[in-house]
Structure 1
Amino acid sequence: MGKPRKIITNPAGTDADTNNVSDHFPPSYPDNGDDLRRYQGLYKAALAGDWETAERTFKSDPDAKTAIISVGPETALLLAISMGRTQFIKKLVQLLSPEDLEMEDSNGQTALHFAAMYGSLDAVKTLIDRHRTLTQIINAEGFTALHTAAIFNSKAVMWYLTLKTTDDPPGRPFTGPKAGSLIQGLVWSGSYDICLHLLERYPDLARVTNECGRGMLEALTDKPSDFKSGCKLNFWQRCIYHLIPEEVELDQTPPRLFSNDVEDPLVNTRISPTSTTYWTRVRQWSIQTAWKAQDYFAFGAIKCIQDEKYKHKCTQRLVEITCQVIANGMTPREILQFFASQYILRSAAEPGIVEIISICLQYFPYLIWVKSTFATALQSAVTLRREKVLSLMLEKNAITKALSNTKDGFGQEILQFAAKLSPYPELSSVSCPALQMQRELQWFKAVEKFVHPQVRVHADKYGQTAGELFTREHQELIRDAEKWMKDTSSSCMVVSTLIATVVFAAAFTVPGGDVDGKGIPIFLNERVFMLFAVSDALALFSSTTSILMFLSILTARYAEEDFLRDLPQRLILGFTSLFLAVATMMVAFGATLYMVLNERFHWILFPIIALTAIPVALFAKSQLPLLIFMVQSTHGARIFHHQKIWQSD
């Protein structure tokens, strides 16, 4: 490592014309066109992996093995690595000396940096087997090949380089000045298992920072979807998530990268043997076998949810390790400075990562008194509508009640933050303007109940209270909500009116007619006739109810408070009755068709059931999600569920 390394420079030894050329080509761009033309065949051979052509060139010109053959400037080895020509690389490396493998380009990057960038594990293995200390060479930015692999997210290469790279100079990737960049790159790439593996050997990686002052904890705030609080699962996925056994523990054992059958495992799980008894081992083996079987039969769908749960446990464990390292190695003053300088609580509150805030406050309870950290996080949670974070922070105690009434640098309380219109990403997550307005009102009312009554009537520097600010901020949304509800009600009322007209007429023109003009239906004694009569009556009553509900919406006053419960309840009742009217109308039609055709076509029952179910299913698919969302939003659980940060003994 002490020998000077070769630098890929101008092979002709002349200075290139820098007049308007340095802006377009690298500093070491070779201006000798004869050399590039001479190696054009080798250039094509390296790109295509044609070893026979390259070998003939090397025999006739030994210097071609390390010569620059492109304007990159690149050698044949770098070109082959860039194209992933594994066999070409293996044969060429055997012809090169270890010193030749240390050649650097204009950015100080060796062939190992290029292999890590491309993500070729075979190329990385070939280079390291030939020259063991290549892992310690740094480029112009001070990055080792492991740094490069982390930046370009080559998981299998990262694991291999993690096991082969040491903390020796000049790189010192785990304790040196670039250690913060390494752990940050690993977090951004989602390589949490590698992070846990490294933290066992180098615990201080949990608190080191890069040149910008950012560390692992702040990097985790950029990955909200890798925490349980930020994971978006549907109903069935949530059920499977909770059914996954807790025996699946974190496994920090690296994958087997030394066999020919190399995998690229994103996550590895194993059953942790907590006991050595026979029955415990049998139970653990049974669980392991059951999960392997479900992976096979469920085509990996359950495995994806299991991987998500493993990822959530990894990120939570990383936060816990970071807090432990900080608590053991820093004084309270240094801890306050650490959290204040990186704005960790605020950075976690903005994407809604509850786990980071909860764990940090469990280890460092005094952070809640620091206005620059906790109060700012509280304001961010209110402004960005992070209900889980706010539920955690709004625990009823003197600390949070005192901080909830504090003002920011512009003299605004959190109620005034709640009065402002939600940011577009959060506002657009709700399906329609009416429900968006309802959600805004729910947020404002929830925060209003928590703050001191005096804050509700307190005017800001512009002379307006929080309620007046809410009205001004939501004027356009109220207009959009009113227009949406009127348009929806008008369209649905037309459908309800048509259904009411049809089923009303069907009640007086019963199928089959009557007996000798006496008004007694011919099919009166048939059981299917009772099905027709009941479904026709239900369709009439439901459609009439739907008409009345939509009419009441059209004639409503559309006051601000009406969007909280009154108008949504009317819309829910209107949609429900309309859905019931459509379903019962189709049942009545199917019963009529069966009575008329049953004598001739005895098999007609099942086709009728199938055909009448199609429009009902289509209507349910298109409108039922909106109806369910409205019911949950109007009559579901409250926005805030107070969560305890500190559990009592």
Structure 2
Amino acid sequence: MAIEGLYKAVRDGDLDKTREFLNSRSEECNMIITKRNETALHIAVANGRVDIVKELVDHPKLAKSLKIRDSIGHTALIRAVVHGNRPMVDCMLKKSPSLINIRSSSGNLPVVMAIDFGQIEMTRHLFRAEDFIADQEIQDHNGATLLTCAIYAGTLDIAWKLIEQRPRLALAIDKYGESGILALASVHRSFPSGRQLGFWKQCIDSCMCIPLAPAINDQAGQSNREAINRSSGICTQEIHDQYYDKLLSEMLQVISESESQQLEAGLVYDAISQAAENGMFEFVSKMLETDRRFLWTEDENKRNIFMLAVLHRQEKIFGILYQQDTTMNYCLTCLDLYENNMLHMAGMMKEEYATRINQISGAALQMQRELQWFKEVETIVLPKYKESKNKGG
């Protein structure tokens, strides 16, 4: 019954009653008091009782409860972190700074839990606390997960700082099975090209004219630089782009120094295919500048980056092919796993792409766009490939 009384006092925010327990039965305040393996401190955090959290943390006999994990493996600090409650977090870290390195039972550091739960400002706060991740810890999935989550959240300043301190994280695998370089290739808004006009909109605005050899430094579409709310974890677009450039440059340096086996393990080839599919022109072109062997990158269906560009109607990626004088013909003769050639790719339409162009009304105009794309590819493939059949006949 005494434990039940402690639970109710903490849950209801009864500071006087809680102090009575601390003064007369402090050992119970250090005990697990619920079926979910929670201490009084866990309950106080869950119910947002900042004053009671401070009272419990400051008690000299309750240091043990700071390190106890509940039934899902969270310390009271981690619980406060995922709730984004900074006063509680600061109170506990002031009492015991080492808590910042105590992981959940699944092996995640508090800062990783913060970004995993979308608590961007809490992530920034913990990240600035100090060099909180020791060398041996930043090399495991925590460092990689923090990096990939920072990229997906748009907090490229955090991602860049991590890569600057630990460059090898670029190829490290996170708890979701992704690497930093793959994450960077998967997020459209991280790239200037991801904010540019799509193929069909450009066709309309230029009287249906497809650009064949886009310039490397093309900055079309970057005039629309809206400031994004700082509280969302993203700086103004200009600063965001600067961090993207720095981040990609750091990763490319690591990639240039890595062996093929390391590149494969770090999902670099997957990242290039993903970037080609997403139309990430800057990413793909800088990858090819770093190492021309990436020209031969293929996805799981044995489709090279130019086949993917055609399939997904990414004209800027396709335009890179025109700059490859010595390898252009070879790229055009490649077949995928199902013996489709480049022209087959132009005749196919991915479901998500069909949805995108259907947003622009007019069946005749849609057909005209598709026909122009097909004819453009047809002009460069070798004659025999215009008549060749795939495995489906």
Coarse TM-score class (shorter-chain normalised): 0.7 to 0.9
1:223 aligned to which of 184, 187, 190: 187
Give the structure 2 partner of residue 201 of structure 1.
165
Counterpart of 1:242 in structure 2 is: 223
Residue 398 of structure 1 corresponds to: 326
Query: After the TM superposition, which residues 560-599 of structure 1 pair with which residues of structure 2 at under 5 Å, given as runs?
Result: none
Contact 1:336 1:367 in 2 (8 A): no
Instruction: Report the alpha carbon displacement of residue 406 of structure 1 after superposing the two structures with TM.
Output: 0.8
The question of 1:78 aligning with 2:45 is answered: no
Asked whether the 8 Å contact 2:322–2:328 carries over to 1, the reply is yes
Q: Give the aligned residue type for 2:122.
A: V
**Residues 41, 440 of structure 1: alpha-carbon distance in 2 compared, 3 angstrom cutoff:** farther
1:325 aligns with 2:289: no
Contact 1:135 1:165 in 2 (8 A): no
- Per-residue CA deviations over 1:383-442 (Å, capped at 9, x if unaligned) read 222233223344362313321221012111021121123423333343333322222212
> Is 1:314 equivalent to 2:278 in the alignment?
no
Letter of the 1:308 counterpart: Q
**Residue from 151, 163, 167 that aligns with 2:133:** 167
2: CA distance, partners of 1:189 / 1:350:
21
Quick one: distance in 1 between partners of 2:52 and 2:321? 60
Correspondence for 2:209: none
Q: Which residue of 2 aligns with 1:386?
A: 314
Higher relative contact order (CA 8 A, sep 6+): 2
Q: Name the aligned partner's letter for residue 376 of structure 2.
A: A
Distance 1:408 1:388, change over 3 A: same
**Structure 2 counterparts to residues 85-100 of structure 1, below 5 A:** 85-95=49-59, 97-100=62-65
Q: Which amino acid aligns with 1:194?
A: I
Whether contact under 8 Å (1:382, 1:390) holds in the other structure is yes
- 1:375–1:404 CA contact under 8 A, matched in 2: no
2:270 alignment partner, one of 325, 329, 343 = 343
Q: Which amino acid aligns with 2:382?
A: H
Does 1:355 find its partner at 2:282?
yes
Q: 1:97 to 1:400 in 2, by over 3 A?
A: farther
- Residue equivalent to 2:84: 119
Match of 1:450 among 360, 372, 380: 380
The 5 Å alignment of 1:371-382 reads 371=298, 375-382=303-310
User: Alpha carbon RMSD of aligned pairs, Å?
Assistant: 3.2
Q: Corresponding residue for 1:252?
A: none
* Conserved 8 A contact 1:352-1:389: yes
Q: CA deviation at 1:94?
A: 0.8
Maintained 8 Å contact 1:227/1:315: yes
Output the CA distance in 2 between the equivalents of 1:355 and 1:70.
Answer: 54
Q: Does the residue aligned with 1:242 lie in a helix, a strand or coil?
A: coil
Cα displacement (A) at 1:216: 0.3
Rounded Cα–Cα distance in structure 1 between residues aligned with 2:97 and 2:72: 21
Q: Write the letter of the residue equivalent to 2:254.
A: V
Alignment map for 1:428-507 (pairs within 5 Å)? 428-463=358-393
In the TM superposition, residue 130 of structure 1 has moved relative to its aligned partner by 0.3
Q: CA separation in 1, counterparts of 2:310 and 2:244?
A: 25
**What residue in structure 1 maps to residue 213 of structure 2?**
none
Structure-2 separation of matches of 1:445 and 1:40: 77
Aligned residues: 367
Q: 1:86 to 1:428 in 2, by over 3 A?
A: farther
State the partner residue of 2:347: 419
The match for 1:143 is 108
Give the CA deviation at 1:207.
2.2
Checking the alignment, whether the CA contact within 8 Å between 1:385 and 1:426 is kept in structure 2 is no
1:243 and 1:457 map into 2 onto residues whose CA distance is 44
Asked whether the 8 Å contact 1:346–1:377 carries over to 2, the reply is: yes
- Greater gyration radius: 1
CA contact (8 A) 2:295 2:305 kept: no
Query: Structure 2 stretches of 5 or more lacking a match?
Result: 203-218
- Helix, strand or coil for the counterpart of 1:350? helix
State how far apart, in whole Å, the 2-side matches of 1:85 and 1:130 are. Answer: 17
Unaligned runs of 5+ in 1: 1-34, 249-262, 269-306, 464-649
Give the C-alpha shift of residue 72 in structure 1.
2.4
Asked if 1 retains the 8 angstrom alpha-carbon contact of 2:109 and 2:142, the reply is no
Aligned residues of 1:385 and 1:422 also touching (Cα < 8 A): no
Q: Report the equivalent of 1:407.
A: 335
Aligned to 1:554: none
Q: CA deviation at 1:125?
A: 1.1
Q: Say if 1:199 and 1:206, in contact at 8 Å, map to a contact too.
A: yes
Structure 1 Cα separation of the partners of residues 177 and 348 of structure 2: 32
Query: Residue 227 of structure 1 contacts residue 311 of structure 1 at CA under 8 Å; is this kept in 2?
Result: no
Q: In structure 2, do the counterparts of structure 1 residues 180 and 358 end up closer, same or farther at CA, with 3 Å as the change threshold?
A: same
Shift in CA distance, 228/71, structure 1 to aligned 2, threshold 3 Å:
same
Q: Residue in 1 aligned with 2:216?
A: none
The one of 75, 86, 111 equivalent to 1:110 is 75
Task: Mark the CA change 1:410 to 1:360 in structure 2 (over 3 Å): closer, same or farther.
Answer: same
- Amino acid in the other structure paired with 1:401: N
C-alpha separation in 1, matches of 2:324 and 2:292: 16
CA distance in 1 between counterparts of 2:232 and 2:387 reads 58
Going from structure 1 to structure 2, the CA distance change for 1:240 and 1:370 (only over 3 Å counts) comes to closer
Instruction: From the superposition, tell whether residues 164 and 153 of structure 1 become closer, same or farther in structure 2 (CA, over 3 Å).
Output: farther
Instruction: Summarize deviations over 1:34-75 as a string: whole Å, max 9, x none.
Output: x5xx44454344344332332234334323422334332322
